[in-house]
Amino acid sequence: MSRVTRVLACAGLALSVGSTAVLAADDSKFALVPGGPHPYFSAWEQAGKDAARDFGLAAADYKVPQKWELSQQNQLLESLLSQGYNGFLIFPGDSVGTGSTAAELVANGAPVIAGAGCLQDPSDAAFCLGTDTGNSAYLGTKQLIGALGDSKRIVHFTGFLVDPNTQLRIDAVQRAADEAGAQVVQVIADIDAPEPAEEKINAYLAAHAGEVDGIITTAWVPAVVAANALRKIGDKRIKMVGIDHDEVVLQAIKDGFVTGTMLQNPYGQAYIGAFALDKLRSGCTVKQDAPLMANALTAKFIDSGTAFVGADGVDNYVDAMRAATKALFDTFEATYLTCQ
Interface residue list for other proteins (CB under 8 A): 63-71, 75-76, 78-79, 81-84, 93-97, 99-100, 103-104, 108, 120, 160-164, 166-167, 190
Q: In the complex, what is the shortest distance from the CB of residue 273 to other proteins, in angstroms, rounded to a whole number?
A: 20
Contacting residues for 340 by C-beta, under 8 A, at least 6 apart: 22, 283, 284
Q: CB nearer to other proteins: give 220 or 308.
A: 220
- CA dist 73 and 91 (Å) reads 10
Q: In the complex, what is the shortest distance from the CB of residue 256 to other proteins, in angstroms, rounded to a whole number?
A: 35
- CA dist 259 and 213 (Å) reads 12
Q: In the complex, what is the shortest distance from the CB of residue 226 to other proteins, in angstroms, rounded to a whole number?
A: 21
Question: At residue 285, what is the residue type?
Answer: T
The strand order across the sheet containing 214-217 reads 183-188, 153-157, 214-217, 239-243, 260-263, 307-310
Q: CB nearer to other proteins: give 66 or 335.
A: 66
Which of the 8 DSSP states describes residue 120? Answer: P
Q: In the complex, what is the shortest distance from the CB of residue 281 to other proteins, in angstroms, rounded to a whole number?
A: 19
Q: CB nearer to other proteins: give 40 or 336.
A: 40
Q: In the complex, what is the shortest distance from the CB of residue 325 to other proteins, in angstroms, rounded to a whole number?
A: 27
Q: CB nearer to other proteins: give 130 or 164.
A: 164
What is the sign, positive or negative, of the torsion defined by CA atoms of 200, 203, 206, 208?
A: negative
- CA dist 132 and 305 (Å) reads 8
Q: In the complex, what is the shortest distance from the CB of residue 65 to other proteins, in angstroms, rounded to a whole number?
A: 6
Q: CB nearer to other proteins: give 95 or 133.
A: 95
Q: CB nearer to other proteins: give 158 or 261.
A: 158
Q: CB nearer to other proteins: give 166 or 269.
A: 166
**What's the burial of 329, exposed, middle or buried (CB within 10 Å: 0-12/13-18/19+)?**
middle
Residue 96 gets the label, from left (phi > 0), alpha (psi -120 to 50) or beta, of alpha
DSSP string, 291-313: --B--SS-S-EEE---EEEETTT
Q: In the complex, what is the shortest distance from the CB of residue 167 to other proteins, in angstroms, rounded to a whole number?
A: 7
